[in-house]
Structure 1
Amino acid sequence: MKALRADTVSKLRKALPELEKEVKRPSNFEDFYSYSFCYCLTEEKQKSIDIESICQLLDLVLGSHFRAQVDYFIEYLKVGCYYC
C-alpha cells in the first residue's frame, strides 16, 4: 500500500487499474502468480492447494483476461474432484 501511495480506500481503487496492468505484463506475471500460489499454501511443506482455493485463485488471477477458459477449467476441476 505504501508503494502505491494508497492510504485510503478511494486511493486504492484509483491505483488498482494501473496495478492490474503491471501484473499482466509477462515479465511480472510469473512472479505474481508464484507469490499468489505460495500465499495460498497453509503449511511450509505443502506442495498443492485444495480445489476450492485454486479455483478462486485462477478466477482472481486469470479470470478477467481469459474468462471462458478459466470458467471451463474451474468446472473441470470441480467435476474431476468427485472422481478422485
Structure 2
Amino acid sequence: MVKNYFSMGLSGTGTALLAMVGMNLISQAGLVYVQTRNIKRNRWTTVIFEIGSVLTFLKPGVDAYRVASGAEKMHGAVRKRS
C-alpha cells in the first residue's frame, strides 16, 4: 500500500503510513522490553527473541501458540501488584 501511495504521488500519505507503522513497532518493542526486564534466567535471549518476533510481525502467532499449548509463564515475566 505504501508503494502504491508513493507511485500515485501521495507521498505525504505514504510517509504518514510508514511513520504510523514505525511508531507502533517501537512502542511494541518498548512494551516487550518492560514486560521481560525482570526475568531472572536467560534474560537477554528472551528479550531478543520477543523483540525479534515483534519486528518480524510474528508476535500474535507466537503468543497464540503459547496460549494454545498451555506454556507456563516464566518466573519474573509478570510483576505481581502489591
Identify the structure with bigger relative contact order (alpha carbons < 8 Å, sequence gap 6+).
Answer: 2
Larger Rg: 2
